[in-house]
Amino acid sequence: MIGEEIRLLTVIKTVLEEVTWSAISSLRDRPTFSVVRTLSYLSYHQGCRMGELAGGLSITCPSATNMVDVLAEKGWAVKLKNSSDGRSVEIHLTRTGKDLIRDLEKERLKRFNDLISRMEEEEREFLVRGIRSFIRAARLDEEREDLVSFFRGKGL
């Protein structure tokens, strides 16, 4: 039976990715998934340092630096020297970067709403109960008070 649950979770992951890709493709600038993931992380961690970004996204520092350079070239983020430590750099989203993430989230929410509205009310209730149960089961670390914030912090 566990095999079926894993298969269904894989299908759900694919559906979520396709909804995200579809939402991204509707945007004027059409950022890559990696760019969206980085922008999402930065939207919850404004002013983080390069090492924090790399750790939060589970990428190397050189990869984080390259990604931030791409964001800066597009006008979606800026690098600012830390006022207390001139050697370190903080990354901040620009208004354009914030708008891009806001537009993406709006479009993604619209698409999820369209998808869920095709379900019967009883099916939606089962879905909500199942997702809540799944999240409870995923709380392996009791120090994480809010799993949703944890996942958002990872840019997911």
Residue ranges covered by each domain of the chain: 2-118, 121-148
> What SS3 state is found at 78?
strand
pLDDT band at residue 144 using 50, 70 and 90 as cut-offs: low
Task: Report the alpha-carbon distance of residue 137 to residue 132 in Å, rounded.
Answer: 9
DSSP annotation of 81: E
How far CA 55 is from CA of 4, 38, 40, 96, 136, in Å, comes to 33, 12, 14, 25, 25
pLDDT per residue over 76-91, tens digit each? 999 998 777 667 889 9
CATH 1.10.10.10 fits 2-118, yes or no: yes
Tens-place pLDDT, residues 22-70 = 898 888 878 888 999 999 999 999 899 999 999 999 999 999 999 999 9
Name the token pair of 27.
Answer: 């945007």
The dihedral over CA atoms of 141, 143, 145, 146, expressed in degrees to the nearest 10, equals -50
